[in-house]
Structure 1
Amino acid sequence: KSFVFQGFPDLFVTTSSQEIDIMLMVDEGYTGGHSGTFIDVKNVGDNTTMILDGVNYVIDSPQGIESAYLVTTTSPATPQFHLDYMVIHATDIKHVEIIPNQLFGLYPVFEMLNSEGGQLSFAIGGELTLGPIQLETSAVMMDLRVKEVGGYNILPTWLGIQKNGMDTEFGDDEKHYIMPEPGMSLISSIGATL
């Protein structure tokens, strides 16, 4: 299983103020490992939680968060995928669950569900090992949004491809699948040959 969010701390906020800011920084190597973590959250509402639930990262804020900026560096996410960096920047967020998955047990695909709020920026870079081949992942990303129909998430509502990270709107309870390069090239090549 992917442990891409290792090093992300659990954060619980109880406050009577709507203007509290939180910043947490863990330098690479500080905890005995190589991963580094940086979290900067602005105007955090009461009863806000940012927790690692198994391998999933869940942000929940009934009162809302004006801005949440999370960075992790140098993380061996899976035996096949080494994460050099991952950046998540969310604005006007109330809830999102970020679930790391692996396509064919190898390639990282991030699933975002139960999202409620404004916008999300997401960037990732790393190295993918396929046997003797080592591929660099670039910042070209695909965002596929789907809606639930009859209990199944099958209705595509948006497909976006962007360079240098991904900027997307959360939408109204839509599910997102985000995948970095070279998976896009691999899927495009397979699609072209079929």
Structure 2
Amino acid sequence: MYFIHCFSAIESGILAAMAFDRYVAICHPLRHSAILTNSLVAKIGLAVVLRSGIVTLPYPLLTRRWPYCRTKVISEPYCVQMAVVKLACADTRVNSYFGLFVMFFVMGLDGIFIAISYLQILRAIFSLPTKDTRQKTLLTCGSHLCAIIIFYIPSASSALIYRFGQNFPQHVQVLIANLYFLLPSMLNPILYGVKTKQIRSRLRWLVTRK
């Protein structure tokens, strides 16, 4: 449970850090290496890991407090906090409130940071002189934007359904939970690999040969 939530928070932080990298690369291209030094990148990475580890630490601690007098088998495909807490024979609203706090503190703040970064990026893109230049610059952000969408939408949907979707069919909850867990890791290599010239050439060669 701890590592599932911790790695999810780390992925959210990495997406926010990548948005900052895109912002610097597009809005301050000549100062990119001066701003994003190795020490700053290391500090950002350490901050993301520490934040995620500390914020998600209360999840297993809170879950251990409750008595479990019914079944100990969860209906979800992996061990998320709310799936376990639903089995407790006690008032577990504190877990729900803390989960919402973590969602807004981690994903909410990261989402706001990403939105601000892309507003600055769009303003810089639309100030470019030619349409081709604007399109080429915007395409450099395409993979990152797709990665944001396939991570945040299933993640937010799964978290909200656990808390407010009591009438949702169980198979729909399981499907969304699987999408949240598997979709980013399945599609990210494709999203970022398709932009690499060598990978595109190799795929084209495989398809034309067959």
State the TM-score, normalizing by the size of structure 1.
0.25
State the TM-score, normalizing by the size of structure 2.
0.24
Report the structure, 1 or 2, having the larger strand content: 1
Report the structure, 1 or 2, having the larger helix content: 2
